[in-house]
Amino acid sequence: MKKLLILALFGLGLSLMLAMPTAKSIFFADSYMLRSQGVEANYWNPARLKVSSFTDLWLPGVNSAITASNNALDLDTYNYFVTRDTLHVADKERLLRDVKGKLSASSEASISHFGFTIGNTALSSSTRFFAKAEAQEDILRLALYGNILDSYSFSKASNNVSALAYSDLSYGAGDFSVPFLPDGMPEIKAGFSVSLLVGLANLSTEHFSASLSTDEDGGTSARQEMVLRSSTFGTGFKSMLGLYSELMPGLEAGLTVDNLFGGIRWLGTNEERSYHITIDSLFAASIQDDFYTQSQSTEEISAYSTALLPELRLAAKYDLGFMDVSADWVQGFEESAVTSSRGRLSCAAGISPVPFLPLSFGIAFPNSVSPLKTSYSIGIHSKLHELAIAVQTYNSILPGYKSKGVSLATSLRFWF
C-alpha cells in the first residue's frame, strides 16, 4: 500500500508526459524573447522578424520539446520511501514538507510542423499540449494519517485537472518603426503575429466539492461531486503584439502581449461527465461491498468557447562581447491551462568558446507553484545550419535524483 501511494503521487507529477512556445526556449530556461529570430520570433516577439538578414527554415518534427514537473516529489524522495517497511511520523512529515498546501503538476509539449521567413514576415505551424493537475494537501495527509480531524472539505480551487491541445498556422510581420517618437529616443521596432487555431482536445474541471466528517457516534460520512468537461475539435484565433529596441550599443529591451483576442470554439463532441459518491455513517465493523453509493452520468452539451488568456512578457538582453546575458519576466493575468497568474523571472547566458560550438545556461527562479528550473545546451553552428540539444531540470542545479521534473528539447534550423 505504501509503495502504491508513493507511486501514485510521483505519477501525478510525471504521468502527463506530453508551453513552451518553441523548443528553443528550453535551452535558456524560458529567457528567450530577445534571443528569438527568424521563425521563432513569430511566437516570441514578431518585432524581431528581420533581426537576421537570412531566410530561416524549419523542418517537420525536429524542433520539439517535452517537459513534466511537480512541486514536491523527486526521485530521491521516491527511493527513500520505497525502502522503508514502515512510515514513521518523521517520514510522513518529510513527504508533506514540500507540498505547501497542494500538490501541483504540469506538463507541456511542442512540436514544429514547418516554418520559413521571407524578409520581415514569417509563416509557421506547430502543435502544442498543456496540462495541469492539483490535489489538496489534506488528501495526502488523510492517506498518511487517516481520519484524525472531525471534518475535511475540498474544493475545485485546490483539486482540479485541465488540459488543452491545439495546432496553429501563424503569420507574422515585424521590423516596423514606431512613429512620432521624441528626438533622441532610441528607435522602437514593432511587430504582430496572428494564428489560426485548430483545437484538438480540451479537458476542464467544471465543479469539484467533497467533504469527510465523523459524527458523534464515530461513524464516517463522505460526499463527493465532480463535473468534468471534455471536447474534441474546435477552431480559434490568437494574436501577439511585440516591441523591441536597442537602448544603447549591446543593450536590448522588449515587450510582448500574447493571446490577444485568443480563444477556441469547440464544435465537435462536447460532453460533461458527472460523478457522485456518498457514504453515510460508516463504521469499520459494518464495511460491506456496498457501503457507498455511486452514480455517474454523461450529457452532451452545445458548442462553447475556451478563452486563451493574455500574458505579458518583459525582457532585457546585454551583449558583453565574449558572452551575452538576458532576463525575462512573464506574467499571466489569470490561472488557466496555458497561463499562470504568478509572475516568474528567468535569466540566461550564452557563449561560444569556439565559433561553431554554442553553449548556454539558463535559470528560472521558483515561485509558489513552479520550482527552480536550470537548463543546459550544446550545439553545432555553421553559416547554413544549427543543430542543438538541451536538458532542463527542476528543483536542482544539475539533473539528478533531486530533480522534480525534466525537459528535453532538440533544435535543427537552416538559413540561407
pLDDT, tens only, 28-44: 999 999 999 899 999 99
Report whether pLDDT(14) > 50.
no
Distance CA 90, CA 85 (A): 14
| Confidence category of residue 2, pLDDT binned at 50, 70, 90 | very low
Give percent above pLDDT 70 in the chain: 92
Q: What is the pLDDT of residue 284?
A: 61
pLDDT score, position 7: 38
C-alpha cell at position 124: 509557421
Q: How far apart are CA 127 and CA 260, in angstroms?
A: 19
The mean pLDDT value for 341-353 works out to: 94
Would the pLDDT of 215 be above 70? yes
**Closest-CA residue to 407 (of 80, 64, 157):** 64
When pLDDT is cut at 50, 70 and 90, the band that residue 9 belongs to is: very low
Among residues 172, 205, 203, 206, the alpha carbon closest in space to that of 189 is found at 172
Structural domain range at position 235: 2-415
∠ CA 223-147-16, rounded to 5°: 65
CATH number, domain at 67? 2.40.160
pLDDT of residue 315: 98
Residue 11 has pLDDT above 60, yes or no: no
The H-or-E segment that residue 5 falls in is helix 2-14
Strand partners, 167: 127, 198
How many domains does the chain divide into?
1
Residue 182 has pLDDT above 50, yes or no: yes
List the one residue out of 313, 170, 293 whose CA is nearest residue 221. 293
Q: How far apart are CA 30 and CA 226, in angstroms?
A: 35
The predicted structure's pLDDT at residue 95: 80
* Predicted pLDDT of residue 410: 95
How high is the pLDDT of residue 16?
Answer: 35
Give the model confidence (pLDDT) of 58-88 as tens digits.
Answer: 989 889 999 988 877 888 887 887 788 888 8
**Tell me: the pLDDT tens digits for 117-175?**
999 999 999 999 989 899 999 988 888 888 888 889 999 988 999 999 999 999 999 99
Q: What local confidence, expressed as pLDDT, does residue 308 receive?
A: 87
Whether 221 contacts 256, CB under 8 Å:
no
Q: Percent of the chain, pLDDT > 90?
A: 60
Residue 353 has pLDDT above 60, yes or no: yes
Cα(62)–Cα(271) distance, integer angstroms: 35
**CA atoms of 285 and 29, how far apart (whole Å):** 55
Residue 3 — pLDDT band, cuts 50, 70, 90?
Answer: very low
Express each pLDDT in 241-258 by its tens digit: 999 999 999 999 999 999
Q: How many residues does the chain have?
A: 416
Residue 228 has pLDDT above 70, yes or no: yes
**268-312 tens-digit pLDDT:** 999 999 999 998 877 665 666 567 788 999 999 999 998 889 999
Mean pLDDT confidence for 85-101: 83
pLDDT higher than threshold 90 for residue 205: yes
Query: What is the band of 5 on the pLDDT scale with cuts at 50, 70, 90?
Result: very low
Asked whether residue 357 carries a pLDDT value surpassing 60, the answer given is yes
Provide the mean pLDDT of the chain: 88
Asked if residue 38 lies in contact with residue 411, where contact means CB atoms within 8 angstroms, the answer is no
**pLDDT of 369 higher than 80:** no
Question: Which residues, in sequence order, are CB contacts of 262 under 8 Å at separation 6+?
Answer: 236, 237, 238, 239, 307, 308, 309, 310
pLDDT at 15 over 50: no
